[in-house]
Amino acid sequence: MSSNYARRMAQLSARIFGQIPVEKNTPNGRLIQRLAKKPIDKMEEYSMNYYPRHQEHDHLFKVLRYHGLYRDEHQDFVEEIERLKRLRGKGKRERKQRTEN
């Protein structure tokens, strides 16, 4: 058991340094303890700190597609449409290189 003086000095130092004096026999003791904890979104065990690496995945899929290990049906479709346009003469023109004299 601490003396009255020691308890009051502890409360004063808590007020000076911004700490909340937690008295367990007060009716708000549980509420004060709950509010003194870190928020749930800041706790490591509850929060998810993962964002997919889209650029690395995109590059990996392009390399796998180049080697024939992955089939990107949408990109295959886009390339086929471009090929058919070029056959009809509607695709992008290849520009002639200028020769400087």
Q: What is the 3-state secondary structure (H, E, C) of the chain?
A: CCCHHHHHHHHHHHHHCCCCCCCCCCCCHHHHHHHHCCCHHHCCCCCCCCCCCHHHHHHHHHHHHHCCCCCCHHHHHHHHHHHHHHHHCCCCCCCCCCCCC
Q: Which long-range contacts (CB under 8 A, 24 or more apart) does 54-62 make?
A: none
Evaluate whether residue 69 is within a structural domain: yes
Evaluate whether residue 100 is within a structural domain: no
Q: Give 63 or 11, the one with higher predicted confidence.
A: 63
Domain that holds residue 66: 54-88
Evaluate whether residue 30 is within a structural domain: yes
Evaluate whether residue 38 is within a structural domain: yes
pLDDT grade for 38, boundaries at 50, 70 and 90: confident
Evaluate whether residue 95 is within a structural domain: no
Longest alpha-carbon distance in the chain? 102
pLDDT (tens digit per residue) in 61-89: 999 999 999 999 999 999 999 999 999 99
Same domain, 36 and 12: yes
8 A C-beta contact, residue 21 and residue 14: yes
The confidence score (pLDDT) of residue 33 equals: 80
pTM strictly above 0.75 = no
Task: Report whether pLDDT(100) > 90.
Answer: no
Task: Report whether pLDDT(22) > 70.
Answer: no
Task: Provide the domain count of the chain.
Answer: 2
Mean pLDDT of 21-38: 76
What number of residues does the chain have? Answer: 101
The confidence score (pLDDT) of residue 70 equals: 94
